[in-house]
């Protein structure tokens, strides 16, 4: 009988010192929790490094790679008073009086504590409805701690236009729906000006599915953790075209750091992993248009460009 293949016994009682010891030697979870039924990948989620979120076929010269930083490693346990030859075990713990720590359980390396499944792998075969559930319970980055609701997206199918914004704001976080605040009202008006409706023709979503605290800019590791959802939404919805709103979403989706002024007014092509080319039109974010109404004329040109392509 080995600890790997048999059901784990009830968790042994350990005192706090023993618990610290178990944690130091990396055995706390193994010792105190039943072994997992099936082994999961031991590695942290792998995220692409130095790679555009999406490959963009054209114009290549204007689409340099966005550096997407890998998720930082989990902070190490503070290494107080390390003991020579016993890395990671503080002398203050080794020298303390008390019951001797329990011998480390004999386990094989594959029985390490389960690591979270990377988002891209977890959703590889998900339907839209399944992925909605996965987004609602997602804990792939720290934004899950501050959200009221994750915002998956909303809209009609078949999808003529996929509209991609940045991230939920306060109202979206409250209601769990995209673009329902003042920006959303303006977006609805813009869409209806080209005879598009969010219920019928358009699916609206964001690059980031949970609200960043105080509406701050999303961090690279949050983008890397969340972008597989958008990629899978695009693959499943197969929109005729994508309207990207604002600098952040445009740069993320097109894998560029070009200015929005240089990205708008022309048609980009997004090549999906399945090899499908989807035309992309970039425009200003409605929140920016509310602050700078003089730019609405340019946004109108962008909408007409997107509508003309059909």
Which spans of this chain sit near ligand URA (rule: CB under 6 A)?
Answer: 165-169, 172, 178-179, 183, 206, 287
Q: Name every residue whose Cβ is closer than 8 Å to that of residue 297 and which is 6 or more positions away in sequence.
A: none
Angle at 144 between CA 142 and CA 150, to 5 degrees: 140
In the complex, the smallest distance separating the C-beta of residue 161 from ligand URA, rounded to whole angstroms, is 15
**Residue 264 DSSP label:** T
Residue 153 and residue 194: Cα distance in Å, rounded? 21
In the complex, the smallest distance separating the C-beta of residue 163 from ligand URA, rounded to whole angstroms, is 9
Nearer to ligand URA, 141 or 245 (CB): 245
In the complex, the smallest distance separating the C-beta of residue 165 from ligand URA, rounded to whole angstroms, is 3
In the complex, the smallest distance separating the C-beta of residue 166 from ligand URA, rounded to whole angstroms, is 4
In the complex, the smallest distance separating the C-beta of residue 99 from ligand URA, rounded to whole angstroms, is 55
Residue 99 and residue 150: Cα distance in Å, rounded? 47
Nearer to ligand URA, 65 or 290 (CB): 290
**Which residue has the CB atom at the shortest distance from ligand URA?**
165
Angle of helix 247-254 relative to helix 220-237, nearest 10 degrees, comes to: 70
Residue 66 and residue 63: Cα distance in Å, rounded? 9
Nearer to ligand URA, 209 or 241 (CB): 209
Nearer to ligand URA, 168 or 228 (CB): 168
In the complex, the smallest distance separating the C-beta of residue 248 from ligand URA, rounded to whole angstroms, is 8
Q: How far apart are the first and last CA of the chain?
A: 66
Nearer to ligand URA, 90 or 168 (CB): 168
Q: Name every residue whose Cβ is closer than 8 Å to that of residue 225 and which is 6 or more positions away in sequence.
A: 45, 47, 71, 119, 140, 141
Nearer to ligand URA, 66 or 289 (CB): 289
C-alpha distances (whole Å) from 300 to each of 194, 275, 303 are 9, 30, 5
- What distance lies between CA 93 and its chain's CA centroid? 39
């Amino acid at each position: 009988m080995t600890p790997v293949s048999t059901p784990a016994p009830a968790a042994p009682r350990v005192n706090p010192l023993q618990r610290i010891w178990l944690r130091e030697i990396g055995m706390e979870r193994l010792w105190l929790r039943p072994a997992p039924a099936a082994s999961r990948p031991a590695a942290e989620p792998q995220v692409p490094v130095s790679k555009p979120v999406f490959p963009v076929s054209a114009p290549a010269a204007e689409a340099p790679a966005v550096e997407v930083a890998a998720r930082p490693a989990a902070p190490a346990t503070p290494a107080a008073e390390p003991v020579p030859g016993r890395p990671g075990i503080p002398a203050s713990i080794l020298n303390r009086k008390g019951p001797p720590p329990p011998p480390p359980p004999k386990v094989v390396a594959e029985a390490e504590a389960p690591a979270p499944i990377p988002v891209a792998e977890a959703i590889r075969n998900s339907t839209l409805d399944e992925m909605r559930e996965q987004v609602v319970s997602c804990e792939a980055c720290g934004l899950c701690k501050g959200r009221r609701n994750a915002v998956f997206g909303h809209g009609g199918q078949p999808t003529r236009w996929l509209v991609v914004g940045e991230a939920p704001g306060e109202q979206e976080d409250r209601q769990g729906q995209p673009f329902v605040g003042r920006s959303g009202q303006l977006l609805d008006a813009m869409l209806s000006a080209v005879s598009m409706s969010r219920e019928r023709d358009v699916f609206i979503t964001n690059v980031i599915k949970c609200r960043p605290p105080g509406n701050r800019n999303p961090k690279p590791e949050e983008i890397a953790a969340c972008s597989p959802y958008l990629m899978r939404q695009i693959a499943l919805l197969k929109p005729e075209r994508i309207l990207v709103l604002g600098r952040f979403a445009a740069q993320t989706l097109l894998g560029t750091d070009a200015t929005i002024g240089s990205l708008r007014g022309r048609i980009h092509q997004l090549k999906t992993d399945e090899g499908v080319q989807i035309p992309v039109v970039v425009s200003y974010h409605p929140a920016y248009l509310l602050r700078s109404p003089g730019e609405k004329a340019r946004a109108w040109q962008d909408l007409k460009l997107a509508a003309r392509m059909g």
